[in-house]
Amino acid sequence: MSQPTTASRSIDIAAPPEVVYDLVSDVTRTGEWSPECRSAEWIDEPGQVGSRFKGHNRSGPARWTTTAKVLRADRPHTFAFATLFKDGDSTRWTYELASNGDGSRLTESFESVDAPLFIKLAERFIVRNRQEQLEQGIDQTLAKIKAIAEGTAERTT
C-alpha cells in the first residue's frame, strides 16, 4: 500500500457555522474529538494566521508531538493548519464550513505535502492501513464535533 495522500469527509451539523468554527479553531479542545491528537497548546497568539501550536498524539503504542502552523483563519468559513517538518509543511488539515439551512456543513480534509522519510516508510511498511485509519479518524472526529456543537448550540439558544 502506498502512503496516505488525501481524504475529505463532510457532516451536517445543527449549529451555526460560527459555533462550529469556534470549536475547530480552538486547538486546545482537539483532544475532545480527535482519535490521535490527545492535547494541543498554542505556542503563539491563538487562532491567527502564522500562529503555531504543538499537538501531542498517540496511536496504539506510538506517541509523538508535532508543531503546526495556522494557514487560514477565516471565521466562520475556513480554519486550516499544516503540521511542520524542518522548514516546510508536512500535512495540511482543513476545516471548511458552509451554511446548511438552519445549521452547517463541516468538511474536514487532509493533504500529505512532504512527509518525512521515516513517516513515509512507517506508513508504507509498518502501518499498512494508514489511509483507512486517517479516513476513519476523520469520520470519528466529525461525529464528535457534531455532538459537541449541537450540545453547545442547544445551550446558547
| pLDDT per position as a tens digit, 16-53 | 999 999 999 999 999 999 999 999 999 999 999 999 99
pTM score, whole prediction: 0.85
Residue 44 lies in a domain: yes
- When divided into structural domains, the chain yields a total of 1
- How far is CA 54 from each of CA 21, 42, 43, rounded to the nearest angstrom? 20, 6, 7
Residue 1 lies in a domain: no
Residue 42 lies in a domain: yes
| pLDDT per position as a tens digit, 133-152 | 889 999 999 999 999 999 96
The model's confidence at residue 116, banded by pLDDT at 50, 70 and 90, is low
Residue 126 lies in a domain: yes
Q: Residue type for 80, please? A: A
Better-scored residue on pLDDT, 3 or 48: 48
CATH code for the domain of 82: 3.30.530.20
Helix segments in the chain, DSSP class H: 17-24, 117-121, 130-156
Say if CB 91 and CB 82 are below 8 A apart. yes
Say if CB 88 and CB 104 are below 8 A apart. no
- Domain span at 145: 6-156
Task: Report pLDDT for 8.
Answer: 96
